[in-house]
């Protein structure tokens, strides 16, 4: 009787271990597939067919979505995406430019900003993705030599007024910092003082409180509220 009980117990334990191993394998497989899907969504190049040429944003961007307000390009980086604007700042965190669920989300303009980028200060958000996808490339701007080689970009808008971008600073700030994360403001004086004080790289030649400023913001990790920011000055393209 004791031997039968031991054999039954042995068999039951083996079955349980087998089921546990299978569950762990399935969980790992799901995590791997999910990670691959997130990466593929973040690097989906199909959206590039909607990228407008300078002066043609108001024709091309509405074909993508009524929420597409601009197209952002940072020269010689992986940052080359449409800019969305939702009714609030949660709408495009986990939604791609086509309106589908996506953990990589979209690049989006703060819902409090004017869609035509006419505010003194406009703020863009994007997820921090691996291999420089979305706004994952912003980390590189803390390196002075990289920063100096990647200071230009363009912002093509759905309103018809396009801009060139000249990046002048990179810094880190907590998401609770109102000076940075409460646009728009009537003046950029406090913002410029904050940037000068906290910047990792600061090259403000030709930029002052009267300049129209654009910030690109991404999280540092899911565990804290620290954000990485790169600031640029907008110049209208005539």
What would the pLDDT profile of 60-108 be if each residue is shown by its tens digit?
999 999 999 999 999 999 999 999 999 999 999 999 999 999 999 999 9
Give the model's pLDDT for residue 184.
83
Q: What is the 3-state secondary structure (H, E, C) of the chain?
A: CHHHHHHHHHHHHHHHHHHHHHHHHHHHHHHHHHHHHHHHHHCCHHHHHHCCCCCCHHHHHHHHCCCEEEEEEECCCCCEEEEECCCCCCCCCCECCCCCECCCCCEEECCCCCCCCCCCEEEEECCECHHHCECHHHHHHHCHHHHHHCCEEEEEECCCCCEEEEEEEEEEEECCCHHHHCCCCCCCHHHHHHHHHHEEEECCCCCCCCCEEEEEEEECCCCCCEEEEEEEEEEECC
pLDDT higher than threshold 70 for residue 111: yes
What's the predicted TM-score (pTM) here?
A: 0.82
The answer to whether the CB of 96 falls within 8 A of the CB of 44 is yes
Give the model's pLDDT for residue 177.
96
pLDDT higher than threshold 60 for residue 47: yes
Number of residues that make up the chain: 238
Say how far apart CA 47 and CA 34 lie, in whole Å. 21
Give the model's pLDDT for residue 34.
39
Place of tokens 């200060």: 121
Q: How many CA atoms lie within 13 A of 191 on its CB side?
A: 31
Mean pLDDT, the chain, as a whole number? 87
> For 122-174, how does the pLDDT look when each residue is reduced to its tens digit (9 = 90+)?
999 999 998 879 999 999 999 999 999 999 999 999 999 999 999 999 999 99
pLDDT higher than threshold 50 for residue 194: yes
CATH fold group of domain 47-236 = Sortase; Chain: A; (2.40.260)
**What percentage of the chain exceeds 90 in pLDDT?**
74
Q: Parallel, antiparallel, or unpaired: how do β-strands 121-125 and 152-157 relate?
A: unpaired
């Amino acid at each position: 009787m004791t031997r039968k009980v031991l054999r039954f117990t042995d068999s039951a334990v083996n079955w349980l271990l087998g089921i546990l191993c299978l569950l762990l394998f399935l969980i790992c497989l799901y995590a791997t597939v999910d990670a691959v899907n997130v990466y593929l969504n973040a690097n989906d190049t199909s959206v590039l067919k909607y990228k407008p040429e300078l002066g043609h944003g108001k024709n091309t961007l509405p074909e993508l979505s009524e929420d597409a307000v601009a197209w952002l390009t940072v020269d010689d980086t992986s940052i080359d995406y449409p800019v969305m604007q939702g009714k609030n700042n949660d709408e495009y965190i986990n939604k791609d430019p086509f309106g589908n669920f996506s953990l990589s989300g979209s690049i989006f303009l703060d819902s409090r900003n004017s869609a035509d980028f006419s505010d003194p200060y406009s703020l863009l958000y994007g997820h921090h993705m691996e291999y420089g996808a979305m706004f994952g490339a912003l980390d590189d701007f803390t390196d002075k030599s990289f920063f100096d080689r990647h200071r230009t970009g363009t912002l093509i808008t759905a309103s018809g007024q396009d801009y060139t971008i000249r990046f002048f600073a990179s810094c880190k700030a907590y998401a609770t910092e109102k000076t940075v994360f409460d646009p728009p403001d009537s003046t950029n004086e406090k913002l410029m003082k904050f940037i000068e004080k906290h910047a990792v790289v600061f090259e403000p030649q030709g930029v002052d409180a009267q300049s129209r400023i654009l910030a690109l913001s991404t999280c540092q990790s899911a565990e804290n509220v620290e954000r990485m920011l790169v600031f640029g000055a907008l110049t209208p393209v005539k």
